[in-house]
Chain A
Amino acid sequence: MSEEKKEKKAIFSAKNRKLLINPLHKDNPITTQVLGICSALAVTAKVKPAFVMTLSVMAVLAIGNVIISILRNGIPPRIRIIVQLVVIAALVILVDQVLKAFVFDVSKQLSVFVGLIITNCIIMGRFEAFAMANKPWESFLDGLGNAFGYGWILIVVAFFREFLGSGTIWDYPVMEKLGVYSFGYENNGFMILPPMALIIVGVIIWVQRSKDKTLIEEK
């Protein structure tokens, strides 16, 4: 009885909660670790692909972290990077196949970017930095947390880019319904292009650091 209680407490201990919550803000993969920027630029022209990309990365990162964590004691250190890559590549191809079979339109939009999850530095980074040294449950939480942290930035960026660039949200024509076009409003085509994603990410980093001074590096 007492043992069971102890285990339950351990599952969501303060330390474990931190694994889940820290990547959302203080340890955010994009804004603080500066990982996975390239995909953040590529898939954020619309909210829908950004959302699907988030789910895909979440699946790959959480499951991959668990697999690597289970294997961690058997992986020969000399080929550990190769083993990590094989796990990532296999999971990504699985995700790609599933997307093609069930949400073809989205998979068409994401096209090469799903394949590019393989090169998403967040995944390699978390495998190497966390899963290789921690137990499966902690690794799972860490994977989920980092994917969430990556995902919310992606979706916020996509929200602004789609809203200002295409005048829609989740393909729903918001601007048209508001009737702003009749006042001479035009969509800003520049928002669709990758540089604007960078600028929005920059603004998010700026806001985050001005709110939380501990994130600012000492010179």
Chain B
Amino acid sequence: MYSNSYIFRYASVMVIIVAAILSSAAMFLKPLQEKNEAIDKMKGILASANIKATSGNAIELYKTNITEEIVITNSGEIVEASKSGEVEPGKSLAFNLDLKKELYKKSKNLEFNIPLLVVESNGIKTYIIPLRGTGLWGPIWGNIAVKDNFSTVVGVTFGHKGETPGLGAEIDTKIFQSQFVSKEIFNDGKFQSVKVVKGGIVTLPANMHIHGVDAISGGTITSDAVSEMLANCLENYVPYINKRN
């Protein structure tokens, strides 16, 4: 029979060894993992502007397509702007801005910054706005690309940590995301956002159809979370847009 002290010693030694192995593995693999995460973020940003990237060419496409990376304050002032080629892809302040922290500052009524990315092709600018919000089970995030009138949606991408498969998790499917294309964020210069409507946009008055998309049946909480995320993130850009005009 094993004594109690043997059991304690056995358990302690085992735990220390396992901890050492795991922490060293985490340390060594971290740079690779961070690079993968950055590439994934780039893919999301590019996809919202309808540029299809793979893990292999994401960095290259990001470099050639994203022409400007801007950081704006909540009052609409530009903090920092870098043109393409000035910084390495994935290293700019705008790209690495932690939206979660900034939105937390917003909730505490503090000053905060927001990122804005620009794609320019044939002289036409498309603006990409990163999004972040809270879903049913965990964080949801995404990117929305708008035309240079800052109102017409070019495309969106959404991602989530662990929404219910088949219900809330449908936000990351093409079918759901394609509904957003050519919806309007502004209504006669007034901020409207795009809402995800339970029961479908048919329940809205006809003039509101361009400000709504159909929700996912059975995924109401996640659908509402997407509406909330869009409104909460997009409204921050209103001061900047007003100043621009």
Residues of chain A whose beta carbon lies under 8 Å from any beta carbon of chain B: 74-79, 82-83, 86-87, 90, 93-94, 97-98, 100-102, 104-105, 108, 111-112, 193-194
B29–chain A nearest beta-carbon distance, Å: 4
Q: Is the CB of B29 within 8 A of A104?
A: no
A98 touches B29 (CB 8 A): yes
The 9 tightest CB contacts between A and B, nearest first, are A104-B36, A101-B32, A76-B2, A101-B29, A90-B18, A76-B7, A100-B33, A97-B29, A101-B33
Minimum CB–CB distance from A134 to chain B (whole Å) comes to 21
Asked, given contacts A90-B22, A108-B40, whether A79 binds B33 with beta carbons under 8 Å apart, the answer is no
- Chain B residues in 8 Å Cβ range of A97: 25-26, 29, 33
A94 touches B25 (CB 8 A): yes
| B200 located at the interface, meaning its Cβ lies under 8 Å from any Cβ of chain A in the complex | no
Assess whether A100 is in contact with B55, with CB atoms less than 8 Å apart: no
For A100, the chain B residues whose CB sits under 8 A away are: 29, 33, 36
Q: Are B166 and A86 in contact (CB under 8 A)?
A: no
Residue of B nearest to A75 (CB): B10
Number of interface residues of B (CB under 8 A): 24
- From 1 to 44 in chain B, residues with beta carbon under 8 angstroms from any chain A beta carbon are 2, 6-7, 10-11, 14-15, 18, 21-22, 25-26, 29, 32-33, 36-37, 39-40
Interface residue from B18, B25, B36 paired with A86 (Cβ < 8 Å) = B18
**Complex: A103 Cα to B18 Cα, angstroms:** 24
With contacts A97-B26, A98-B29, A100-B36 known, is A86 near B2, CB below 8 A? no
Cβ-neighbour of B21 out of A94, A104, A105, A194 (below 8 A): A94
Instruction: Name which residue of chain B comes closest to A90, CB basis.
Output: B18
Beyond A86-B18, A93-B22, A100-B29, is A78–B36 a contact (Cβ under 8 Å)?
no
Question: Would you call A77 and B162 a contact (CB within 8 A)?
Answer: no
Query: CB-CB < 8 A to A98: which residues of B?
Result: 25, 29
Question: Which residues of chain A have C-beta atoms less than 8 A from B21's C-beta?
Answer: 90, 94
Inside 8 A of B162's CB, which chain A residues have their CB? 111-112
What residues on B are CB-neighbors of A76 within 8 Å? 2, 6-7, 10
B14 engages A86 (CB within 8 Å): yes
- Given contacts A76-B2, A111-B162, whether A101 and B36 have CB atoms under 8 Å apart is yes
Q: What residues on B are CB-neighbors of A82 within 8 Å?
A: 11
Chain A residues within an 8 Å CB radius of B18? 86-87, 90
Query: When chains A and B are docked, how far (Å) is the Cα of A189 from the Cα of B10?
Result: 52
